[in-house]
């Protein structure tokens, strides 16, 4: 560690993932010891971490009163009953298109975010990033900040080192187990299941799921960390197709930082050109991916912006403008490089970007929010909004009463002793509300025909009032009989109509009535 101009300390930090010296794919991993950062982006990451972890761990415990005939867990994937409950929304298996629509919206939303602000998803809300941040909090609390952790790692095994390492990994395992445990609570009543888990009476699949997720969370978040993003995740290799010259990315503005110098005042006193970068390596030391942002855009960069925070603090100490590392678009960067290099005719000259009084030149390009509004973002936003509105409209207007009819295949018709023709049907009534109701089943068309329902001791007729259990499918065996002199063809169509008189919901199904040639 050295002191630069008695103001900023220089950290002995070397990029693990460097564009200048790429490591072989199967080389042993070089550990990264990211330094604690502070600033607006770090505070935003804390906020996102608290919110996302809070949602994940607490959501299964939220209650939502759906009445006595439905579970009261706000968010529940009820595999046994084949239902998905989300507060006031209930999704049945045949309505899986809602889930598919949400997945499509998530994909388009990821494209929209990436094309606008780069890998913001990776830097702030990706589960891998969130849990690595959480594990690093534990690591720093037990082993100390960067220098202390490096010293501990390089030192011999002592009682203190053993206690610290065991403590750290034990807490990591507790966090990982809580992560796996929280996941299973989404698939059963959480208060009931947690009691079963601790008493050993839960289903084997619950313990298997907890074990698998505990192992993956501990391994990915505690041991592999940046390797998951670099080698396992496909998004760094896909995201380049989502970016254009107006996408915001974390950028080292070498048009004002070069040529860098560790002793800027001495260099300036000697009459040499010097940029704003003092080569303190603070941006390298805080990077959780182990890169040097000054090497340019790299697939390892998750745009967490911690390097912006630490560089801004260095610039503040030196009395210079913030933004040496900043969120910048490629178009603005290229425009400013052109100014700093006199249109590309020479190397970066920091005197070209400043006026005589030391302020930045008016020729420099600056970011404005309107630059993010361009055809690509409008297309993504339009598609995302259209799908969302379509799903919302479908959700608000969907019927919660359905009927489906299956004609008997063998025999397709029966000739009775009086010459009348009878067809058999399986009628399925779907009551998709968590309360009992009475459904009127009626037939329309087919002159002279009557129906009878197996298990209902009532004379044949053209309509019946059927009690339906809450949130259940009710199957009826229905026989439709038509006198021979009323048969109009070998195939006739008619409708089964179901209606709930209380809610005015109804549904219809067009069925066929088969008859022999001689019946006409």
Is the distance from CB of 2 to CB of 279 less than 8 angstroms? no
Model confidence at 2, pLDDT cuts 50, 70, 90, reads: very low
d(CA 73, CA 172): 29
d(CA 75, CA 86): 5
| 418-423 CB contacts, 8 Å cutoff, 24+ apart | 418/483, 419/483, 419/484, 419/519, 420/481, 420/482, 420/483, 420/484, 421/481, 421/482, 421/484, 421/487, 421/513, 421/515, 421/516, 421/519, 422/479, 422/480, 422/481, 422/482, 423/479, 423/480, 423/513, 423/514
Condensed to tens digits (0 to 9), the pLDDT of residues 440-475 reads: 999 999 999 999 999 888 899 999 999 999 989 999
Half-sphere exposure (CA, 13 Å, Cβ side) for 295? 18
**Boundaries of CATH 2.60.40.10 in the chain?**
401-514
Condensed to tens digits (0 to 9), the pLDDT of residues 108-132 reads: 999 999 999 888 899 999 999 999 9
Q: Tell me the average pLDDT across 241-259.
A: 90
Q: Would you state the pLDDT for residue 7?
A: 62
353 Cα distance to chain centroid: 42
Condensed to tens digits (0 to 9), the pLDDT of residues 319-328 reads: 899 999 999 9
The percentage of the chain sitting over the pLDDT mark of 90, rounded to a whole number, equals 65
Q: Tell me the average pLDDT across 478-493.
A: 91
Condensed to tens digits (0 to 9), the pLDDT of residues 64-111 reads: 998 888 899 999 999 888 889 999 899 988 888 999 999 999 999 999
| pLDDT exceeds cutoff 50 at 376 | yes
Question: How much helix, strand and coil, in percent to the nearest 5, is found in the chain?
Answer: 45, 20, 35
pTM (2 d.p.): 0.85
Q: Would you state the pLDDT for residue 261?
A: 82
What number does CATH give the domain 401-514? 2.60.40.10
């Amino acid at each position: 560690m050295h002191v630069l101009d008695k103001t900023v300390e220089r950290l002995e930090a070397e990029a693990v993932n460097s564009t200048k010296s790429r490591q072989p794919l199967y080389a042993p991993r070089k550990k990264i010891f990211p330094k604690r950062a502070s600033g607006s982006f770090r505070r935003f990451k804390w906020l996102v971490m608290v919110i996302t972890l809070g949602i994940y761990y607490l959501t299964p415990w939220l209650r939502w009163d759906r009445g006595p005939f439905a579970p009261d867990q706000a968010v529940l994937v009820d595999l046994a009953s084949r239902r998905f409950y989300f507060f006031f929304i209930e999704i049945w298996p045949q309505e899986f298109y809602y889930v598919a629509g949400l997945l499509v919206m998530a994909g388009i939303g990821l494209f929209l975010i990436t094309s606008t602000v780069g890998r913001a998803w990776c830097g702030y809300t990706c589960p891998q990033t969130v849990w690595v941040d959480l594990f690093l909090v534990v690591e720093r609390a037990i082993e100390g900040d960067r220098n202390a952790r490096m010293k501990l790692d390089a030192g011999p095994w002592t009682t203190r080192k053993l206690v610290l390492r065991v403590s750290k990994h034990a807490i990591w395992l507790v966090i990982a187990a809580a992560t796996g445990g929280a996941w299973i609570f989404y698939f059963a009543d959480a208060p009931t299941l947690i009691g079963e888990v601790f008493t050993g009476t839960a289903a084997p699949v619950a313990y298997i799921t907890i074990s698998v997720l505990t192992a993956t969370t501990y391994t990915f978040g505690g041991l592999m960390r940046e390797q998951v993003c670099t080698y396992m995740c496909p998004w760094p290799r896909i995201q380049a197709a989502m970016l254009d010259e107006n996408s915001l990315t974390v950028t080292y503005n070498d048009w004002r930082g070069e040529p860098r110098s560790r002793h800027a005042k001495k260099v300036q006193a000697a009459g040499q050109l010097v940029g704003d970068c003092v080569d303190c390596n603070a941006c390298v030391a805080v990077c959780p991916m182990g890169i040097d942002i000054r090497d340019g855009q790299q697939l390892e960069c998750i745009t967490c912006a911690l390097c912006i925070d630490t560089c801004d603090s260095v610039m503040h100490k030196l009395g210079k403008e913030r933004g040496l590392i900043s969120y910048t678009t490629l178009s603005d960067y290229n425009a400013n490089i052109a100014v700093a290099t006199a249109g590309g005719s020479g190397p970066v000259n920091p005197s070209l970007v400043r006026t005589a009084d030391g302020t930045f030149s008016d020729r420099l390009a600056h970011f404005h929010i309107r630059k993010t509004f361009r055809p690509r973002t409008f297309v993504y936003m339009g598609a995302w909004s259209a799908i969302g509105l379509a799903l919302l409209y479908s959700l608000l207007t969907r019927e919660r009463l359905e009927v489906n009819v299956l004609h008997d295949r063998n025999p397709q018709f029966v000739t009775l002793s009086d010459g009348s023709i009878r067809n058999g049907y399986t009628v399925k009534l779907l009551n998709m509300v968590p309360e009992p109701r009475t459904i009127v089943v009626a037939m329309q068309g087919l002159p002279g025909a009557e129906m009878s329902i197996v298990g209902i001791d009532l004379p044949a007729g053209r309509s019946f009032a059927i009690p339906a259990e809450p949130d259940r499918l009710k199957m009826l065996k229905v026989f439709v009989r038509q006198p021979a002199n009323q048969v109009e063809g070998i195939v006739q169509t008619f409708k089964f109509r179901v209606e709930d008189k209380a809610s005015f919901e109804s549904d219809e199904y067009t069925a066929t009535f088969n008859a022999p040639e001689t019946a006409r």
